[in-house]
């Protein structure tokens, strides 16, 4: 009872009922299966069961089978624990490798950040040095700009050439505006014509479609009416045919009854009395004849009814054919409408392409106009610089002449020396102005070439616009916008003409001032004839000044070269910074990925550890259960030994009295 209660309490043990002859083999199997690496009780290997009885071996076999199953489970759980330990060790090794990778990546990141800081410091130092050099160059340029005050003769030529070019450009633009107006008018005319034509075509097509639709609808109504009439007639004829068939059947039945009757001629002929009529008596033949006549009439009526039915069927077939033709015409009408829709879609596509091309042409025209405006602004800036230099030159000359007059009144000799110096400066300035005017003339020639190119592009665009007159006709909105733009451009040209007139007036004033300065120069030259000896020293000073100017020019070239080098270095450093930032971003992403991987590995390690703890607890429970089973076996053995001794004592006791 004790063993059975334990078996009920531990329901997950399997009870195996074996015979007594398999006790030894089961014990041997248990000893063989039981691995010495996972022994929990070594006494099982040295346990002997030679003193067990046959009746008591069943419980022992059950216990051994339980022990065998539990040992097998214990072995499997310990193998699983070993596998999980190995996986844990592998995960720990991978975690260590990942930590090392993270450390290396952090070192590389710190190195890159340090290099980036160094690059920033170097960039700051280079930037400060570059700023100092730029300031120095700015000072030198200011000094050179002070020397750039003798731009006089070539400015006049430049002014005249620019005025001529502006006049030519104005005439060209007026001509282009007139041509554009003509093209727009032509396009509007064509657009109106095409719209009228399309509206007429649409109206005609709609009228045709509506007329055909009305005719088809009327014909359909008529055919439906005819069909209804014919169906009614057919129904009537079918009813008549049914009635005639019934009448024929009745007549046939009457004929059959009459045929079955006996003829009157078989009866004895009675002599005619005087009261009877002299007509012949009604015989069966006469009745048959009448019946045949009635049948022939009915047959004629049936034939007429059949002919009517056939005619009605023919009429029905004809009406069906008319309906089929009407449906075919409907289908053809739908197909024609589809074709017209496709044609309209194609026309719309063509119109969209034409609009796109016209938009591109307008964009090109706008780009050309923007270039022209830029060039005009450049010309205005040049004119402003010329006027400013001329004004400064005029002020300088006025100050110079006033100083000369004051000094001539006070000191003639000093005045003559100063005049010689001024003349030498004027000559040097004239030479510089000559060089600057040459440069400006080259720039003006380049501007003229650009203007010619713009004119060529404009003429090409104009030709393209003329070729696409038919396409432009469908774009009224763009044409109106172009009209507005042209009006704006005409207003701009008017303002520019006013500016040109103002510039011409200023130019005339400058010419008058120049004549006055020429007179002053003539007076100075008369004084210069007296001071020819001092001119040699001034010439030496001029040569020295020229050498100084050459040196300054070389310095300017060197500074420009250094500036270009610094710009290239700045670009390279910027690119390096971008590459370093990208590399740092990549490293951060890799570090983030590694951290996520480490977190996932730690979570897996936690899960594995939890599983290991769970399996260790299971193994402990199984070991405890095995120890309890062994203890129960020992208790059973002790109970069996006591029972055996008691049985022996009882046997000896029973044998003693028997004796």
Q: What is the mean pLDDT of residues 146-158?
A: 71
DSSP run (H or E) holding 17: none
DSSP run (H or E) holding 349: helix 284-410
Q: What percent of the chain has pLDDT over 70?
A: 63
| Cβ–Cβ under 8 Å, residues 157 and 437 | yes
| Cβ–Cβ under 8 Å, residues 69 and 13 | yes
Residue 447: count other Cβ atoms within 10 Å of its Cβ: 17
What's the confidence (pLDDT) of residue 22?
Answer: 42
d(CA 408, CA 397): 16
Give the pLDDT confidence of 217-242 residue by residue, as tens digits.
777 778 778 778 777 877 777 787 77
What's the confidence (pLDDT) of residue 408?
Answer: 64
Over 538-594, what HEC string results? HHHHHHHHHHHHHHHHHHHHHHHHHHHHHHHHHHHHHHHHHHHHHHHHHHHHHHHHH
What's the confidence (pLDDT) of residue 16?
Answer: 39
Cα Dmax for the chain:
201
d(CA 72, CA 66): 10
Residue 258: which of 297, 291, 282 has the closest Cα? 291
Give the pLDDT confidence of 524-546 residue by residue, as tens digits.
667 656 656 665 666 676 677 66
| Cβ–Cβ under 8 Å, residues 249 and 231 | no
Instruction: Indicate the angle between helix axes 153-260 and 476-530, nearest 10 degrees.
Output: 170
d(CA 478, CA 561): 50
In which band, very low, low, confident or very high, does the pLDDT at 55 lie, cut at 50, 70 and 90?
low
Residue 219, classed as helix, strand or coil, is helix
Structure tokens at 333: 């009408």
Helix locations, 53-152, DSSP H? 57-147
What's the confidence (pLDDT) of residue 27?
Answer: 40
Give the pLDDT confidence of 551-571 residue by residue, as tens digits.
767 776 776 677 777 777 767
Give the pLDDT confidence of 466-511 residue by residue, as tens digits.
666 666 566 666 656 766 776 776 677 677 667 767 766 776 777 7
Which DSSP string do the residues of 478-531 spell out, in sequence order?
HHHHHHHHHHHHHHHHHHHHHHHHHHHHHHHHHHHHHHHHHHHHHHHHHHHHHT
Sequence-distant (≥ 6) Cβ neighbours of residue 599 within 8 angstroms: none
In which band, very low, low, confident or very high, does the pLDDT at 657 lie, cut at 50, 70 and 90?
very low
What's the confidence (pLDDT) of residue 53?
Answer: 57
Give the pLDDT confidence of 307-361 residue by residue, as tens digits.
777 777 787 777 777 778 777 877 887 787 788 778 777 877 876 776 677 677 6
Sequence-distant (≥ 6) Cβ neighbours of residue 30 within 8 angstroms: 44, 64, 67, 68, 71
Sequence-distant (≥ 6) Cβ neighbours of residue 496 within 8 angstroms: 166, 170, 376
| Cβ–Cβ under 8 Å, residues 143 and 552 | yes
Most confident of 157-166, 346-355, 380-389: 157-166
In which band, very low, low, confident or very high, does the pLDDT at 38 lie, cut at 50, 70 and 90?
very low
Instruction: Indicate the angle between helix axes 476-530 and 532-658, nearest 10 degrees.
Output: 140
Q: What DSSP designation does 10 have?
A: S
d(CA 228, CA 221): 10
Residue 508: which of 149, 160, 165, 158 has the closest Cα? 160
Q: What is the mean pLDDT of residues 26-35?
A: 41
Structure tokens at 555: 């310095």
Instruction: Among 2-11, 55-64, 127-136, name the one with the lowest average pLDDT.
Output: 2-11
d(CA 49, CA 138): 116
d(CA 149, CA 151): 6
What's the confidence (pLDDT) of residue 218?
Answer: 79
What's the confidence (pLDDT) of residue 5?
Answer: 41
What's the confidence (pLDDT) of residue 263?
Answer: 44
In which band, very low, low, confident or very high, does the pLDDT at 278 lie, cut at 50, 70 and 90?
very low
Most confident of 100-104, 204-208, 648-652: 100-104
First to last CA, the chain: 37
What's the confidence (pLDDT) of residue 268?
Answer: 42
Residue 159: which of 500, 406, 458 has the closest Cα? 500
Which DSSP string do the residues of 435-468 spell out, in sequence order?
HHHHHHHHHHHHHHHHHHHHHHHHHHHHHHHHHT
Residue 46, classed as helix, strand or coil, is coil
Check pLDDT > 60 for residue 413: yes
Sequence-distant (≥ 6) Cβ neighbours of residue 156 within 8 angstroms: 507, 510, 511, 514
Q: What is the mean pLDDT of residues 418-432?
A: 74
Residue 59: count other Cβ atoms within 10 Å of its Cβ: 18
d(CA 197, CA 181): 24
| Cβ–Cβ under 8 Å, residues 385 and 437 | no
Structure tokens at 657: 């009295």
Greater confidence, 202 or 91? 91
Q: What percent of the chain has pLDDT over 90?
A: 0
Give the pLDDT confidence of 70-126 residue by residue, as tens digits.
888 888 888 888 888 888 888 888 888 888 888 888 888 788 788 778 888 887 888
Rounded to 5°, the CA angle 145-146-147 comes to 85
The residue with tokens 């090392």 is 100
In which band, very low, low, confident or very high, does the pLDDT at 577 lie, cut at 50, 70 and 90?
low
Instruction: Give CA 150 to chain center in angstroms.
Output: 61
d(CA 287, CA 20): 121
Check pLDDT > 60 for residue 12: no
Structure tokens at 312: 């009605």
d(CA 364, CA 512): 44
Rounded to 5°, the CA angle 339-341-344 comes to 110
The residue with tokens 């069906």 is 320
Over 120-136, what HEC string results? HHHHHHHHHHHHHHHHH
What's the confidence (pLDDT) of residue 653?
Answer: 52
Residue 475: which of 360, 345, 364 has the closest Cα? 360
Instruction: Indicate the angle between helix axes 2-9 and 57-147, nearest 10 degrees.
Output: 20
Q: What is the pTM of this model?
A: 0.23
What average pLDDT does the structure give for the chain?
70
Check pLDDT > 70 for residue 244: yes
Sequence-distant (≥ 6) Cβ neighbours of residue 448 within 8 angstroms: 165
């Amino acid at each position: 009872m004790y063993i059975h209660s334990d078996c009920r309490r531990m329901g997950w043990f399997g009870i195996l009922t074996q015979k007594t002859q398999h006790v030894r083999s089961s014990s041997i199997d248990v000893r063989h299966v039981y691995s010495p690496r996972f022994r929990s009780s070594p006494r099982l290997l040295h346990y002997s069961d030679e003193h067990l009885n046959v009746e008591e071996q069943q419980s022992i076999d059950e216990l051994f089978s339980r022990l065998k199953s539990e040992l097998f489970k214990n072995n499997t759980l310990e193998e699983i624990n070993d596998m999980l330990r190995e996986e844990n060790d592998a995960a720990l090794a991978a975690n260590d490798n990942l930590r090392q990778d993270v450390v290396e990546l952090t070192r590389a990141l710190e190195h890159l950040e340090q290099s980036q800081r160094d690059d920033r410091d170097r960039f700051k130092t280079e930037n400060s040095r570059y700023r100092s050099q730029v300031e120095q160059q700015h000072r030198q340029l200011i000094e050179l700009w002070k020397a750039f005050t003798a731009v006089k003769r070539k400015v006049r030529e430049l002014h005249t050439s620019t005025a001529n070019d502006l006049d030519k450009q104005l005439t060209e633009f007026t001509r282009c505006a007139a041509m554009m107006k003509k093209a727009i008018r032509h396009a509007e005319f064509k657009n109106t014509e095409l719209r009228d034509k399309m509206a007429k075509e649409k109206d005609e097509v709609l009228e045709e479609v509506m007329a055909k639709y009305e005719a088809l609808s009327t014909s359909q109504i008529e055919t439906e009416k005819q069909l209804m009439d014919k169906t009614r007639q057919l129904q009537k004829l079918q009813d008549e045919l049914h009635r005639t068939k019934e009448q024929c059947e009745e007549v046939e039945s009457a004929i059959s009854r009459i045929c079955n009757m006996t003829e009157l001629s078989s009866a004895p002929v009675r002599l005619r009395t005087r009261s009877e009529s002299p007509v012949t008596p009604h015989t069966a033949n006469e009745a048959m004849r009448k019946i045949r006549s009635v049948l022939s009439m009915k047959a004629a009526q049936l034939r007429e009814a059949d002919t009517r039915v056939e005619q009605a069927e023919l009429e029905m077939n004809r009406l069906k054919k008319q309906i089929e033709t009407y449906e075919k015409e409907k289908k053809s009408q739908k197909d024609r409408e589809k074709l017209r829709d496709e044609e309209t879609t194609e026309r719309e596509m063509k119109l969209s392409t034409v609009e796109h091309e016209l938009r591109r042409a307008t964009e090109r025209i706008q780009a050309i106009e923007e270039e022209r405006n830029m060039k005009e602004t450049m010309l205005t800036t040049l004119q402003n610089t010329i006027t400013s230099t001329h004004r400064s030159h005029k002020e300088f000359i006025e100050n110079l002449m006033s100083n000369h007059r004051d000094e001539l009144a006070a000191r003639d000799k000093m005045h003559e020396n100063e005049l010689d110096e001024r003349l030498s400066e004027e000559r040097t300035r004239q030479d510089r102005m000559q060089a600057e005017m040459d440069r400006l003339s080259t720039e003006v020639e380049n501007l003229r070439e650009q203007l010619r190119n713009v004119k060529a592009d404009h003429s090409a665009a104009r030709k393209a616009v003329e070729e696409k007159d038919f396409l432009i006709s469908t774009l009224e909105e763009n044409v109106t916008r172009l009209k507005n733009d042209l009006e704006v451009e005409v207003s701009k040209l008017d303002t520019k003409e006013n500016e040109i007139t103002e510039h011409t007036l200023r130019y005339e004033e400058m010419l008058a001032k120049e004549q006055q300065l020429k007179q002053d120069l003539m007076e100075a030259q008369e004084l210069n004839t007296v001071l020819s000896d001092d001119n040699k020293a001034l010439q030496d000073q001029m040569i020295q000044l020229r050498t100084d100017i050459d040196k300054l020019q070389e310095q300017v070239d060197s500074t420009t070269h250094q500036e270009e080098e610094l710009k290239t270095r700045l670009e390279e450093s910027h690119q390096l910074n971008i590459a370093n930032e990208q590399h740092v971003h990549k490293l951060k992403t890799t570090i983030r990925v590694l951290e996520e991987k480490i977190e996932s590995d730690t979570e897996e390690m936690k899960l594995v550890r939890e599983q290991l703890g769970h399996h260790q607890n299971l193994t402990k429970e199984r070991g405890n259960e095995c120890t309890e089973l062994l203890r129960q076996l020992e208790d059973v053995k002790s109970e069996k030994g006591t029972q055996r001794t008691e049985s022996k004592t009882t046997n000896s006791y029973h044998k003693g009295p028997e004796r």
